[in-house]
Amino acid sequence: ELLDAARTDSLATVPGAARVVRRRGDSALGVLAAHVEFGNSGDETSAAAAFSGAYWLTPDPDGTWRLRERITGGGRIVSHHLAIDLAPGEGIAVRDTLTWDGATDAGASLRLNHLARVTRVEDLAGTPVAFVAAGGLLWLDLPTGPSTVVLEYTIDVSRDRPFDANAGRFADSFGHLRPQYAWHPYVGLDDAAMVRLTVRAPIDLPIATDLPQSRGADGAVHAASVTPVAPLALFHDRAWVPREVQVAGIRFALFADTAFRPTLDSLAGAVRWTAGLLAKRFGAPRREYLAVVQVRSLTDVGWPFMSNRVIAAGRSGGRLLVTGARHRAFFGHEVAHAWTRPSGAGRHFLSEGWATYAESLLLHDAFGAEAVAAFWEEQRALYRTGGFEGRDALRTDDDNRGVSYAKGAWVLRMLEDRIGQATFDRGFRAYMALPAGAVRDVDAFISAMAQAGAADIRGFLEPWLSSTVLPRIAVSVGNDVLTVRQLQDGPVHPLRVELMLRTPMAGQVIAVDLDRRVVTA
């Protein structure tokens, strides 16, 4: 689709690399990389990931080499130690001491912004390590098993245009880099690695990372994760007056100027209310640090995204709760992310779906059952008008294309209705209590629910997670037999359907457990 758009819209396709880097018998390992210029370099790097990568090639009998297999799942990043020099209005220089655990003999294929200029890759003994950096790909010639390299590179962020700043932008006095800008290496946005980082910048420039941080005597900002974290964001703004308070056991920080609204007191109150309400059912949050960061380079008003421990705002944060024509708990949605740390398959179902579900609890507490009923109908409409039907599945929504919000929340609501609130809450507590470093994908969630007493939980959830379509139901009556069918392609979705049968004399409600393609009653 991207290449078709490039041809149609006359976008520039930039060749990056086409190189054979290893031989294995009759096969060769090739690195192919390129990108299309259409906007922000971070978005271009994300799009290029569909092509740029390492491939096994094999020869045909006539000697023509063919792409046989793209390398996926070749290993993981265990840790980063990032030393960052930040130049406002210009860019960053990074030294990353990166530990890799290789699972194949195909080296390490990582994402890194295509503007990055890599100047050094060495092992800890100072021996150069072969690499390819092009088209948003960083390929490192690393063996199977653990290895550590020192990587140095620069990124001229100022080359990105201010009108297309979603992934990243540096103005003269403020700027941001989101994870999808790929300003540091990662395999995918689903990565989880231990991180230590140091940011050096002019002493009068406030810096915010998306981890708990402190400023040293040398003026540098230091931060470290206590558990593996997703790829990082980085922010700065000369106008900020950083402040922080303790709220419900959470160290809550605000990085914003004095004109920012809502105020620190209002935000702290919203955190306290959200934490108290969710803790009653699901226990204390799993994160002891939370920050709100004003991002003047991104938007005017609102809560556009969350990254690890940071809720990003625009120039102002917008409303905390909305009722009337729409019903949303925008800020509470972001705070609710502090309860889950999902990874792997179905990560966005367990993050965005969960946080949208949590909004329903907050809206019920604030406005009552009528507002919540309207909220669920709005979520249903958002799914139906979002273009997700027949395209996106919850289990494979790796790029967070949007299906996980409305459909994910609805699936959690249906699960709660099916197994009961007590079992639902126990299962969520068990999932949230998984230790640091444990697999936290949707299969771990299903196991936690099963251990909490949810019967046949996989049989119920799997069709909703794996199918790209909703069930379609047809009902017919003939010869005193009621027949209910599921018509959609793909798996049968276990459902309980209530039908009203009306005759000239009376009406009757019949409940049908639709656990097969066709059920009669």
**Position 6 pLDDT exceeds 90:** no
Whether 426 and 452 have beta carbons less than 8 Å apart is answered as: yes
Gap between the Cα atoms of 442 and 342, Å rounded: 8
Nearest to 497 by CA among 477, 471, 468, 461: 471
Instruction: List phi, psi (to 5°) of 505.
Output: -100, -35
Cβ pair 159, 175 in contact under 8 A: no
Number of H helices, E strands in the chain: 11, 28
**In this predicted model, what pLDDT tens digit does every residue of 232-245 receive, in sequence order?**
999 999 999 999 99
With cut-offs at 50, 70 and 90, classify the pLDDT of residue 509: confident
pLDDT at residue 2 tops 80: no
Q: What is the pLDDT of residues 179-222, one digit of tens each?
A: 999 999 999 988 889 999 999 999 999 999 999 999 998 899 99
Whole-number pLDDT of residue 333:
95
Instruction: Look up residue 300 and give its amino acid.
Output: D
**Confidence band (pLDDT; 50, 70, 90) for 4?**
low
Q: How confident is the model at residue 1 (pLDDT cuts 50, 70, 90)?
A: low
Q: What is the pLDDT of residues 425-470, one digit of tens each?
A: 999 999 999 987 788 899 999 999 999 999 889 999 999 999 999 9
Instruction: Report pLDDT for 3.
Output: 57
- What are the chain's domains? 2-238 (2.60.40.1730), 340-466 (1.10.390.10), 473-520 (no CATH)
**Residues 277-323 pLDDT 10s:** 999 999 998 778 999 999 998 878 889 888 999 999 999 998 999 99
Is the omega angle on the peptide bond into residue 179 within 30 degrees of 0, that is, cis?
no
CA distance 286 to 337: 9
How far apart are alpha carbons 336 and 344 in whole angstroms? Answer: 19
Q: How far apart are the first and last CA of the chain?
A: 48
* Model pTM score: 0.88
pLDDT at 252 over 60: yes
Strand partners, 476: 483
What size, in residues, is the chain?
521
CA 139 to chain centre: 23
Nearest-angstrom CA–CA distance, 484 and 313: 49
Instruction: Please list the residues that pair with 251 across neighbouring strands.
Output: 246, 289
- Per the structure block, which two tokens stand in for 432? 């949230």
CB 88 within 8 A of CB 205: yes
Q: What is the dihedral of CA 433, 436, 439, 443, to 10 degrees?
A: 10
- pLDDT at residue 243, rounded to an integer: 98
The rounded distance, in Å, linking the Cα atoms of 326 and 374 is 8
Distance CA 407, CA 389 (A): 10
Question: What's residue 5's pLDDT?
Answer: 58
285 burial class (0-12, 13-18, 19+ CB within 10 angstroms)? buried
